[in-house]
Amino acid sequence: MPKKMLIITKHLDIGGAEKMLLRFLPVFISLGYKIDLYLLYNYRMQMDFEFDLGYTSNQIELFSIFPYKTNDYKQFMKNEPQEVYYSVIHDTYDVEIAFQESYATKIISTSKNKKSKKIAWVHSNFQEYHFSANAYDNDEEELNAYSQFNNIVFCSKSVQNAFDKTLKNNFKNKEVIYPLIHSAFCNECAQQHQQQMQDSYFLVLSRYSPQKGLDRLIKAARLLKDCNMLFKIIIIGKGELEHDLKEMIMMYNLIDEVHLVPAVPNPFPYFKNCICYVSPSYTEAFGVSVQEALCMHIPVIACDTPGTREVLKNGLFGEIVEPSEYALANAMKNCILDSGYTNTLIKKATNGADYWDKKETISKKKLEVLLSPYPRI
């Protein structure tokens, strides 16, 4: 009889945490679990794509708790998490996973199932972007929610460090498990046909949200244009800042240089003509898209954040620049003008691909230990 696993997560639209979960699911299934996957909101672009490519099976059932995101639903989850849990969860499970901090964690923390192993995943740097605080009245309430879990898993060391500094705790069962890179999967997807520019360009995959630093990138583009550089930038994504970004592009007269492309389920073909992947973020917990660029041997330029330092091993696998539009523009200018500079970044990316391929084996082993009945980590 298969073991049963409950997973609650925010959604399966675009995002690094969403990709991370989808690439863990085959591992969970291989360990003998039948999975009930509950989305807080029924957004599922990324899921539909990866499921279509055979990354799941009939061992997963999908449910949505709410049809879409509203303030009323958020308030209900904040004030009545136990009611949310027992209004939709009618089975008992061997493992219960809150795969994203905030409401998923709060809801599963109310489970009265004494026999299940409860695991909370954390994907954001609480010192830079403590968005989960909105689900709680104070830090003490959030700490109490985490105390109901047997294990807490972090997507990077920097995320764990920030968690420990923000929420003072003495939890013992904490573990860092990095995302699975799935190099073969990314490279296979890159071969699929997709309409794209034939010219070379800088590439960004990102939500259009404040912490992603797209305003900084557009300011860097203006500096490049002021230096008479010929270049193009493709930014693939969606989000609440789309209108603001379009206005900024028009204001700086960058319509020919900077292109906002609506989020697509398979962005990997865009890597083929990409001269460099750029991460302009103000904060990154890890940087799954940077990791994906490395696995395809694409040069990377990234603004300095704890997460990008970790994925790029403090500059061994890519160029880490001071977090400003001036430093970013200068590095991009070097990429345009200096083939030697670009070739060096390609070699760094190749080394990064090898490193993260080896780390994938370790992450899978950690998942096996985490999900085994004994011992608990």
How does pLDDT run across 89-120, given as a tens digit for each residue? 988 999 999 999 999 999 999 999 999 999 99
Q: Which CATH architecture is the domain 184-357 placed in?
A: 3-Layer(aba) Sandwich (3.40)
Cis check for the bond before 373: say yes or no (omega within 30 of 0): no
Identify the CA nearest to 180 among candidates 7, 27, 38.
Answer: 27
Contacts of 204 (CB under 8 A, 6+ apart): 214, 217, 233, 234, 235, 236, 237, 277, 278, 279, 280
pLDDT for the residue numbered 373: 65
Residues of the chain with pLDDT > 90, as a percent, come to 73
pLDDT for the residue numbered 80: 94
Residues of the chain with pLDDT > 70, as a percent, come to 93
pLDDT for the residue numbered 108: 96
Query: Are the beta carbons of 205 and 236 closer than 8 angstroms?
Result: yes
Spatial distance between the Cα atoms of 164 and 237, rounded to a whole number of angstroms: 31
Dihedral sign computed on CA atoms, order 319, 324, 327, 329: positive
pLDDT for the residue numbered 198: 66
pLDDT at 55 over 70: no
Dihedral sign computed on CA atoms, order 17, 350, 26, 369: negative
Q: What's the whole-model pTM score?
A: 0.91
3-177 shares its CATH topology with 184-357: yes
pLDDT at 346 over 80: yes
Task: Please identify, in words, the CATH class of the domain defined by 3-177.
Answer: alpha beta
Summarised one tens digit per residue, pLDDT across range 140-190 is: 999 999 999 999 999 999 999 999 999 999 999 999 999 988 788 788 888
pLDDT for the residue numbered 57: 61
Domain regions of the chain by residue span: 3-177, 184-357
Identify the CA nearest to 334 among candidates 301, 305, 311, 303.
Answer: 301
